[in-house]
Amino acid sequence: MTEKQASETIRAPGLRLLAMELRVPLEIFSTLALWPLLTARARGDGHPVLVFPGLVASDRSTYLLRRFLKAQGYSVHCWEMGRNLGPQPGVMGACLKRIDELRAQHGRKVSLVGWSLGGLFARELAKMRPDDVRMVVSLGSPFAGPESASNARGIYRRYNPPKGEAASEFPNLNQAPSMPTTSIYSRSDGIVAWPCCIQNDNPHTENIEVHASHVGMGMNPMVLRILADRLAQPEGAWQPYRRSNVD
């Protein structure tokens, strides 16, 4: 079976997994209950982190995630572009400008964190600014596999009608950026088929499995702990994640 044929066998999560997305309140409650432990040891070095929301979500959806990273000691920034409706005209250019501004303001490389569709933005923008991006972390982002393997494909296409591969803003999604890139995924994701979140083996890429919903991934306590561990990796001395790092 070729890689293309294997990709085409991936299906969107079924009703059972979709129903499990209802656990989001439990994930939020768990994070709030564990907040003193999660934020007890700040490890951030103050470098800028730019956070991208998921499909049809805004910066409000990443509030808890950003508050946590700020408590860890990072300079955390919103994408400030309202709801994420995909690569609408002018959006990628505005995002690049945002990265340029943060790079100039801080005098340091910027880490990009993207949730779902936001992770696709983070990966592609990093490829366009390889000298300005420190690392990329995506949460439940479907950069591999067929578009049909997502239960959100209808919403995405409502705002982004097919224009042909040549016109795509995300032409080489499966190709990882050149800097350290982490993909956090869940086999119980009810929106995106988890194989779509798996990167090819590479010295600077990694895939980390968690037990989380898709909608609640950015508010899940384990995801936040892993994210803090990844962003704390010294620049130029990145090492793959090990469970013992935070467990």
Domain with residue 32: its CATH number is 3.40.50.1820
pLDDT of residue 161: 87
Structural domains of the chain, count: 1
Contacts for 146 with CB less than 8 Å, ≥ 6 apart: 7, 8, 10, 196
User: First-to-last CA distance in the chain?
Assistant: 38
Contacts for 3 with CB less than 8 Å, ≥ 6 apart: none
Q: Is residue 125 part of a domain?
A: yes
Half-sphere exposure of residue 211, counting CA atoms within 13 Å on the CB side?
Answer: 4
pLDDT of residue 2: 41
Q: Is residue 245 part of a domain?
A: no
Q: For residue 55, is it left (φ>0), alpha (ψ between -120 and 50) or beta?
A: beta
pLDDT of residue 169: 62
Q: Is residue 82 part of a domain?
A: yes
Q: Which of 223, 227, 233, 244 is nearest to 180 (CA)?
A: 233
Q: Is residue 90 part of a domain?
A: yes
Q: Is residue 240 part of a domain?
A: no
pLDDT of residue 8: 62
Q: Is residue 241 part of a domain?
A: no
- Give me the tens of pLDDT residue by residue for the chain, a chain 247 residues long: 345 544 568 999 999 999 999 999 999 999 999 999 999 877 899 999 999 999 999 999 999 999 999 999 999 999 999 999 999 999 999 999 999 999 999 999 999 999 999 999 999 999 999 999 999 999 999 999 899 999 999 999 999 988 754 445 677 888 999 999 999 999 999 999 999 999 999 999 999 999 999 999 999 999 999 999 999 999 999 999 987 644 5
Handedness of CA 122, 125, 127, 129 (dihedral sign): negative
Q: Is residue 246 part of a domain?
A: no
* Cβ density class 106-123: b for 16+ within 10 Å, e for less: eebbbbbbbbbbbbbbbb
pLDDT of residue 42: 75
Q: Please state at what angle helix 24-33 crosses helix 221-231, rounded to 10 degrees.
A: 60
pLDDT of residue 158: 93
Range of the domain at 118: 3-233
pLDDT of residue 191: 98
CA dist., res. 122 & res. 113, Å (int): 6
Q: Is residue 243 part of a domain?
A: no
Q: What is the CA radius of gyration of the chain?
A: 17
